[in-house]
Amino acid sequence: MNQNTSRTPASPNSAKQQGPSNNGGNSPITLIAIVVGVIVVGAVAYKAMHKDAATTTDNATTTAPADNSDQTKSKVVTPREPSSSGPSTVSSTLVPKSSVPAEPKPPVTGAAKDLVTSLAALDPKKGSITKEQAAEWKEKFKALVAQGKDAVPAIREFLERNVELSYANSGASLGYNSLRASMIDALAQIGGPDATAALLGTLNTTALPSEIQQLARALDQIAPGQYSQDILNAARQTLELAMSGGLGKEDAGPLFDLIQKASASGTLDPATLADLQKAAQNYKWYPVITLANMPGDAGIDTLINMSKDPNAPSTVAEVLGEKAWDNPKALSALEDLVRNNRITASQWQQIIALMSGDQYLFGDAKTDPTPPPQPQDCQYFHIEWNNQNFSRCHNPNFQPDKGIAALNQMLGVTTDPNIRNIIQDRIKQLQSGGK
């Protein structure tokens, strides 16, 4: 700016000194012409300068949003805030909130809203719940369900608030472990498109494995198998959160159970198998139990691939033993581990028991509402590391003759005399009808 100011007055002076003179001076007309010329030239230069600046500004404005959009996309690994967009399949990316303004929802009012508010008012933290309070609460809950689809907006509004009340140690039983669990069950009882949409919306926002499992059961109750992919997506996404430590002390077992069930419905893909193999770095038991209990050979093939890694969890060899009596590939992989001295004495104890008809199952099989084996045939285990809970039960489908044949094959590759004695004793037990 200062340079332009200093040059502009100099131009007429320079022209005055250098311009031709016929009479030793400049006439008024000449001076006027010079001044006008300078003004015109200055105006043109000024216009050109501002035109370039405007063009630069416009270009910057055009390109900036694209860069900002790329930078603000984030991985969906935490519960999302409630959205009015309705249920959708879990996505790997989330559009920035600022670019998708939520449509305002009308406030929920009416009898159903009053019932939900009343149910939420019974807070166990304020004192033990009496039998009379529990009976009143149950009556109000029945009244809420009786509202049918008219109750869905109030229930959905409550679930979107992400608040919870635990009834685990409340005194009198309400029939549910928590308030959110009761609201989810209410939607399952009501059924219909509105309730289904509310269940799917909650599935896409919650990060609690136990709640995802309950939502999966509710959706399967309403429309069996129709939402298998949505359930699998939610489980995989929350498993990613679990592996990064984002679940804290929450038990991730329900996620693995849902993935296992998804394999039975045919919704499993190679990426999910890779997720399970990766999860073995964080969970020693859950991923291998999932793989062992998958139908077909997909899980076994993954376990065999894992067994080739010297750093694989010791549980890989154990679950290969669980499947060895009925799967030649698992038996062959187990024999390779023995030949390469990859089986420790403590592992042998578990492998022999599993080859004799035991199997691992998620959670406490004694409290599972639909346990495959008889409860008295199970032993429950809790592993403090990453809060893993599972049972070892007798497999009701076990065939002793096949188990004996598999154990005899292990005798052919085992040289340790102590291990050989244990295997031979187990064969005798099976032959005599024991287990």
pLDDT tens across 200-221, in order?
999 999 999 999 999 999 999 9
Mean pLDDT on 159-173: 88
Q: How far is residue 199's CA from residue 421's CA, in Å, rounded to a whole number?
A: 56
Give the per-residue pLDDT at 139.
Answer: 98
pLDDT of 62 strictly over 90: no
CA distances to 119, 166, 182, 186, 197 from 142, in Å: 11, 19, 11, 9, 21
CA distances to 52, 291, 415, 433 from 347, in Å: 77, 19, 16, 25
Give the per-residue pLDDT at 104.
Answer: 61
* Residue 85, token pair as written in the block: 């967009």
Banded model confidence at residue 366, pLDDT cuts 50, 70, 90: confident
* Residue 92, token pair as written in the block: 């790997």
Banded model confidence at residue 143, pLDDT cuts 50, 70, 90: very high
Give the per-residue pLDDT at 31.
Answer: 44
Q: How far is residue 425's CA from residue 435's CA, in Å, rounded to a whole number?
A: 11
Min mean pLDDT across 87-91, 231-235, 411-415 is at 87-91
Query: What pairing do the DSSP bridges indicate for beta strands 378-383 and 358-362?
Result: unpaired
Dihedral sign (CA 158, 159, 164, 168): positive
Min mean pLDDT across 42-51, 86-95, 248-257, 306-315 is at 86-95
**Average of per-residue pLDDT values in the chain:** 80
Give the per-residue pLDDT at 103.
Answer: 61
Give the per-residue pLDDT at 220.
Answer: 95
Mean pLDDT on 360-365: 91
- For residue 187, give the DSSP letter: H
Give the per-residue pLDDT at 400.
Answer: 97
Residue 171, phi-psi category: left (phi > 0), alpha (psi -120 to 50), beta (remainder): left
Number of H helices, E strands in the chain: 18, 5
Min mean pLDDT across 2-16, 26-40, 127-141, 301-315 is at 2-16
Give the per-residue pLDDT at 337.
Answer: 97
Per the model's pLDDT, the better-predicted residue between 147 and 65 turns out to be 147
pLDDT of 195 strictly over 90: yes
Report the half-sphere exposure of 394 (CA within 13 A, side-chain side): 11
Q: Which residues are CB-neighbours of 161 under 8 A, at least 6 positions away?
A: 82
Give the per-residue pLDDT at 37.
Answer: 53
Q: How far is residue 362's CA from residue 320's CA, in Å, rounded to a whole number?
A: 17
Give the per-residue pLDDT at 170.
Answer: 82
Mean pLDDT on 297-316: 94
Give the per-residue pLDDT at 232.
Answer: 94
* Residue 77, token pair as written in the block: 């690994």
Min mean pLDDT across 38-42, 308-312, 343-347 is at 38-42
Q: How far is residue 180's CA from residue 163's CA, in Å, rounded to a whole number?
A: 8
Q: Which residues are CB-neighbours of 76 under 8 A, at least 6 positions away?
A: 90, 91, 92, 93, 94, 237
Min mean pLDDT across 45-54, 213-222, 310-319, 360-369 is at 45-54
Q: Tell me: the pLDDT tens digits for 88-131?
A: 222 322 223 334 445 667 778 899 999 999 999 999 988 899 99
| Interior angle at CA 346, CA 434 and CA 359, nearest 5 | 45
Q: Bridge partners of 360?
A: 392
Residues in the chain: 435
Sheet of strand 388-394, all strands in order from the earlier edge strand to the far edge: 358-362, 388-394, 378-383
Give the per-residue pLDDT at 222.
Answer: 95
> Which pTM does this prediction carry?
0.73
CB atoms within 10 A of CB 383: 13
Banded model confidence at residue 3, pLDDT cuts 50, 70, 90: very low
Which amino acid appears at position 45 of this protein? A
Q: How far is residue 426's CA from residue 422's CA, in Å, rounded to a whole number?
A: 6
- For residue 178, give the DSSP letter: B
Give the per-residue pLDDT at 214.
Answer: 97
CB atoms within 10 A of CB 354: 24
